[in-house]
Amino acid sequence: MRHRPRAVSPDLEASESDGRFPSASLPVFEGVERPEPESKARRIAIRAFAVATLVVTATYLSWRLHSTVDLAVWWVSIPLIAAEIHNAGGLLLFTVALWDVDVSPPWHRVEDSDLRVAVLIATYNEPEEVLLPTIAASVTLAPTHETWVLDDGRRENIRELATSLGARYLTRPDNVGAKAGNLNHALGKIDADVVAVLDADHVPLPNFLTNTLGYFEDPDVALVQTPQDFYNRDSFEHSDHGESRFNEEAVFYRVIAPGKNRWGGAFWCGTSALVRVEALQSVGGVATATVTEDIHTSIRMNRLGWKGVMHNEVLALGLAPADAEQYMLQRHRWALGAMQVLRKENPLFGKGLTFGQRLSFTSTLWGWFDSWRTLAFMLIAPVVLFTGASPISAPGWVYGPLFLTVFLAQFVALRLLARGRYPPALSLLFEVLRLPAVLPATLALFTGGSGVFQVTPKGRGDRSLRTPVPRILVFLVLLNVSALGLFVLQMAGVHIIAYESMAAAAGAAGFAVLNLGLVVWAVIRIRAWRFAGERRGAVRFPVDLEAYVQGSPCDVRDLSTTGAEVWSAGSVDAKAGERLNLVVVLGGDSTELSCNVRWRDEGEVGRVRLGLEFDSKQTGQVATIARALFQQAGAPDRARLAEAA
């Protein structure tokens, strides 16, 4: 029997605010709310420009194929036209996929539900400081549910942590099937209609269940996915300068994934999702044959008629890769899984999917081949400079302006379709950064490599080593520097080779400069000290909270689940290595923690700064801190909720 959740009014100002901590002094995570619906005029303008760009691109490619491909130098002309065709194909899929990003099934909040709900937190080797906020937030979610910690690491300290916070603990004798096997084992032990799946680092916000369970009124809905966003916004994949809100994954989770609702192609993205148990059982459980069990399982459920929904509101915050090594490990796994899914499920031509679903899955999986296009553009320019060959049998004054016009139009169209979440420079940078991870992974499409599920490391530690630069990026730097050096010598009158076309050589030199700039930028980011780790184990949040150190008033300016930085205007007699008590005031209540002084700084006259590390085994107090740090991200925008309903 399929149960139906009970709906309540979304206007919950009084009840939602009761018992909350004061917001002025705690972190507020921006950009997590449901976006405003796009105006009809803007939507039409974006569509018109995208279609016009596709027409111009098709005309340009027709001319290129019929009049400019020089087969005498096929080894450079064919890769160039292939890269340009790939660009056009990607833009076409992007245009169709993002035709309307506001389509969504009817939505409302639920305060209570007849559904039996279980929150499943899958973990393997994540440390306590990563798991604690997730468990602490999960057990307090409404409506009534069970919270299960599924520990493939079989750790006694995690069992104690889970039970002390009110969660249930489950492990198994082996790790067969990795995360998918862990979830399948749990499905055989628990009694639930819907499971909410969270990775160990993804902290659910207060509305996680109440804002998503309503979709399950439709008995054909198998899953509800929410966007993945992150609370360590100084991560490797976040921007650090002018584009302060840029996150590499935002364009997928806030634009591309919601656009899939139109085509019935919304799919499970691993964490921050709710899945109907009956749907999982109908396909034999979570798929274990690939390292991306989420999209693989989604395709299988779609083939049986089940539906997926993308709810475009951030309802959980996780940890983004902290450094280049974690970033590349994660992207390699995703790309490898995509290739495995292509081989095993063939979503483009396999049976059981609608046209829209085929289009949706193909556009997602197609994107992993962008790295080969990027590599082609990186190699063609130096090859032209080294060999003197011209891949274009057309005058430079004709080809150059046409190519630049089409290239720029495609960039503008992509930025418009991405609703402003595709900044060109940063997007190009991350295309280069993905190369070392994605290129070898995509070869699995042809080799059939199975791969092993590798958990992306979570949390921070004492290590402060910078990630080595991948060899392919070193090669690209040396290649483009050498090619540009040769071109400069040619221009200086030292004729080593003969250029077939000076216009082609000049254009190639310009692209080599662009290539070199992007690769050097990528190398600098990989080697940056800011991504080399830090002393405190958990992410720090800037705050301004009333507190007391040994009874003396002070301010907490920096807080995490493992420590704090406090400023005292009075004299605090505490030195590095000593122990003391810190009392933090949260919403009128006091939380007392035993601490170790890591460092002391006299600073301004009469002001003392202390770096404190919390003692272990203070689970209840640290859980209170964790819930306070994340509660503001879950505070709903009332007007939007009422309007959306």
| CATH code where residue 185 lies | 3.90.550.10
Number of structural domains in the chain:
3
Are both 209 and 83 inside the same structural domain? no
Taking only Cα atoms into account, the Rg of the chain, rounded to an integer number of angstroms, comes to 27
The phi, psi pair for 276, rounded to 5°, reads -75, 130
Beta bridge partners of residue 170, listed in sequence order? 150
How far apart are alpha carbons 327 and 618 in whole angstroms? 32
Residue 631 falls inside a structural domain: no
* pLDDT computed for residue 586 by the predictor: 86
Q: Are 460 and 201 in contact (CB under 8 A)?
A: no
> By residue range, what is the domain housing residue 299?
6-17+100-320
* 587-626 as b/e: b if 16+ CB within 10 A: eeeebebebebeebeeeeeeebbbbbbbeeebbebbbbbb
How far apart are alpha carbons 192 and 186 in whole angstroms? 11
- In three-state secondary structure terms, 569 is coil
Q: What are the structure tokens assigned to 371, written together? A: 């790295």
What Cα–Cα distance (Å) separates residue 509 from each residue in 5, 432, 505? 63, 19, 6
- The number of angstroms, rounded, from the C-alpha of 30 to the middle of its chain's C-alpha atoms is 16
Residue 425 falls inside a structural domain: yes
* 47-76 as b/e: b if 16+ CB within 10 A: bebbeebbebbeebbeebeeebbbeebeeb
Residue 589 falls inside a structural domain: yes
Residue 23 falls inside a structural domain: no
What does the CA dihedral 573, 577, 578, 581 come to, rounded to 10 degrees?
Answer: 100
* pLDDT computed for residue 531 by the predictor: 82
Q: What are the structure tokens assigned to 409, written together? A: 């139009």
How far apart are alpha carbons 515 and 477 in whole angstroms? 8
Element (H, E) at 374: helix 370-387
What does the CA dihedral 588, 589, 592, 597 come to, rounded to 10 degrees?
Answer: -30
Are both 527 and 552 inside the same structural domain? no
* pLDDT computed for residue 454 by the predictor: 60
Are both 525 and 553 inside the same structural domain? no
* pLDDT computed for residue 104 by the predictor: 87
Are both 374 and 492 inside the same structural domain? yes
Give me the CATH number covering residue 588: 2.40.10.220
How far apart are alpha carbons 105 and 212 in whole angstroms? 11
- In three-state secondary structure terms, 308 is strand
How far apart are alpha carbons 86 and 196 in whole angstroms? 38
* pLDDT computed for residue 636 by the predictor: 41
Beta bridge partners of residue 195, listed in sequence order? 118, 275
Are both 158 and 296 inside the same structural domain? yes
Are both 279 and 136 inside the same structural domain? yes
Place of tokens 């990026």: 473
Are both 111 and 197 inside the same structural domain? yes
Q: Which of these three, 531, 562, 582, is where a domain ends?
A: 531
* pLDDT computed for residue 458 by the predictor: 61
* pTM for the predicted model, two decimal places: 0.88
Taking 70 as the pLDDT cut, the residues of the chain under it are 1-24, 240-245, 449-464, 533-537, 570-571, 604-605, 632-645
Are both 92 and 186 inside the same structural domain? no
Q: Which of these three, 320, 349, 380, is where a domain ends?
A: 320
Residue 625 falls inside a structural domain: no
Q: Which of these three, 498, 531, 564, is where a domain ends?
A: 531
Residue 329 falls inside a structural domain: no
* pLDDT computed for residue 457 by the predictor: 63
Are both 509 and 373 inside the same structural domain? yes
Give helix 324-345 / helix 355-366 axis angle, nearest 10°. Answer: 140
Q: Are 209 and 116 in contact (CB under 8 A)?
A: no
Are both 282 and 190 inside the same structural domain? yes
Residue 642 falls inside a structural domain: no
Residue 360 falls inside a structural domain: no
Are both 198 and 69 inside the same structural domain? no
Residues found in the chain: 645
Are both 88 and 146 inside the same structural domain? no
